[in-house]
Structure 1
Amino acid sequence: MSQVAYDEWRATAVDPAFSEWLRSSCEPEWTAVVTHPFAASITRGEVSDGDMRRYLIQDFQFVDSFTALLGAAVASADSFESRVPFGRFLGETATTEEKTYFHRALAALGATRADMTRPPLEPVTADFRALMDEARTSLDYPLILAVLCVAEWSYLGWASLAEEPLPENFVHREWIDLHEGPVFRAWVRFLRGELDRLGPELTEDGQLRVLDFFRRAVRLELRFFDMATGV
């Protein structure tokens, strides 16, 4: 999609939200992520144990950087009301439900402790961690939001396409459940809402910088799913 400044795009957009400008500016990559064959295979429970193990081992390597990014969001948010949801999500989901899932799922898939703590990093894994760390060290709240929003919104995108009945294998079913449902939808809505609140007030250069981080994250999500399929 060719670059169109936010104000120009908003004048004719059906949905003028800043987060929607970011998303639509990342087509066709965004749709390629949320409809990716690997993600679709998860929703059907068709990913082999070996492929799921490799994918989850690499995804687990984001836990520390993602947790630190959430902490940076708490530190850089512009109000108490904005800080609270990050702290709640950090305590209730990122460090409990999801981490517990990784340990149970990878154990069931035959991963060793070394697989989880010292695996060779795929290039895309290293690049994604570097982007998270770049956003974190910037302490620039909109940039942090951009990376977090892509990570969560894109996963809601593919998980929301899962059809009932969900796979019987908990490795697939619970991975879907972690990224779908009322609580996770509210979390994504909050992230988008923060971008929608702050984005229109940024300078054009600031908006384009947020878009740069958002687009880089989308492209990394696509590369990550491609890696999982061996592309």
Structure 2
Amino acid sequence: MSIDVKDIKPLSERIRAANQDVWDAMQAHRFVAEIEADRLSADTFKAYLVYECDFVETAMLIFGHMLVKAPGLEERRWLAGVLQALAVEQIGYFERTFAALGITAADRARPLPPSVFAFRDGMLAIARDGTYRDGVAIMLAAEWMYATWCTRAAACRIGDPILRRWVDLHAEPEFLAQADWLRRQLDAADPAEEDRLGDRFRRALELEIAFHQAPFEGAAP
């Protein structure tokens, strides 16, 4: 029996479906649920921001590895734009937000929880030691995850204006376009790589789940 090409799902969709358990676990994470219910504590959000800001520099390194390994100029130009946005826009966002929330340099210097180190080091190791598509798979897992639940949460009532802005940033067209670009990059991979890339996608989500638990367990600024 012949298979209609239109019935074959894109690689990214197949990989997400194969890892639906960890995807759903992240989508229903306590961090997400409390934001959607408008009951995330200020201390938890502050702790999260410190941990997330720490990861921005790592994200720059991850995308840097991807840029070096990218297959062509089009991909390199896009990734150069991503690096510019991380270095200027995202760092600027955290600086302004820390000032608004009274998060000090001393707060940021506190030891990070083990799961935050594991997230940072685990993601970087995959991008450093793997292929271009390996880097795509882990960053797609992260950004698709955020784009999905933040788009949902953006329709909820969120009383804290700073938290509201953070959610909205991950539901705006620019962020969604980045997730879409990563999806297209993964869809262009050789189908023979599906199992390995699926493993990378899953590992990133597992690391994200533990990372998002850390603000509830560690001391908040």
Q: 1:80 aligned to 2:73?
A: yes
Distance in 2, Cα, partners of 1:188 & 1:65: 18
Alignment of 1:129-208 (within 5 A): 129-138=120-129, 140-164=131-155, 167-200=158-191, 203=192, 206-208=193-195
Q: Secondary structure at the match of 2:153?
A: coil
Unmatched 5+ stretches in structure 2: none
Q: In the alignment, what sits opposite 2:111?
A: 120
Structure-2 change in CA distance of 1:109 and 1:153 (3 Å): same
Distance in 2, Cα, partners of 1:20 & 1:13: 13
Distance in 2, Cα, partners of 1:121 & 1:80: 37
Q: In the alignment, what sits opposite 2:26?
A: 33
Distance in 2, Cα, partners of 1:164 & 1:146: 28
- 8 Å contact from structure 1 (residues 76, 139) kept in 2: no
- 8 Å contact from structure 2 (residues 36, 156) kept in 1: no
Distance in 2, Cα, partners of 1:33 & 1:62: 18
- 8 Å contact from structure 2 (residues 154, 168) kept in 1: no
Structure-2 change in CA distance of 1:16 and 1:76 (3 Å): same
Distance in 2, Cα, partners of 1:13 & 1:44: 39
* TM-fit CA distance, 1:15: 5.8
State the superposition RMSD in angstroms: 2.5
* TM-fit CA distance, 1:41: 2.6
Q: Aligned residues: percent identity?
A: 31
Q: Which sits farther off after the overlay, 93-102 or 17-26? A: 93-102
Structure-2 change in CA distance of 1:189 and 1:143 (3 Å): same
TM-score (norm 2): 0.87
How many pairs align?
Answer: 216
Q: 1:103 aligned to 2:95?
A: yes
Amino acid in structure 1 at the alignment position of 2:49: L
Q: In the alignment, what sits opposite 2:11?
A: 18
- 8 Å contact from structure 1 (residues 18, 199) kept in 2: no
TM-score (norm 1): 0.84
- 8 Å contact from structure 1 (residues 98, 178) kept in 2: no
Deviations 1:52-84 (A, max 9, x none): 111111111111110111111111110111112
Distance in 2, Cα, partners of 1:186 & 1:135: 23
Distance in 1, Cα, partners of 2:4 & 2:151: 30
Distance in 1, Cα, partners of 2:5 & 2:25: 25
Q: Secondary structure at the match of 2:16?
A: helix
- 8 Å contact from structure 2 (residues 15, 201) kept in 1: yes
Amino acid in structure 2 at the alignment position of 1:177: D
Deviations 1:106-165 (A, max 9, x none): 23333211322x321111111111122212322510111011111111111110102446
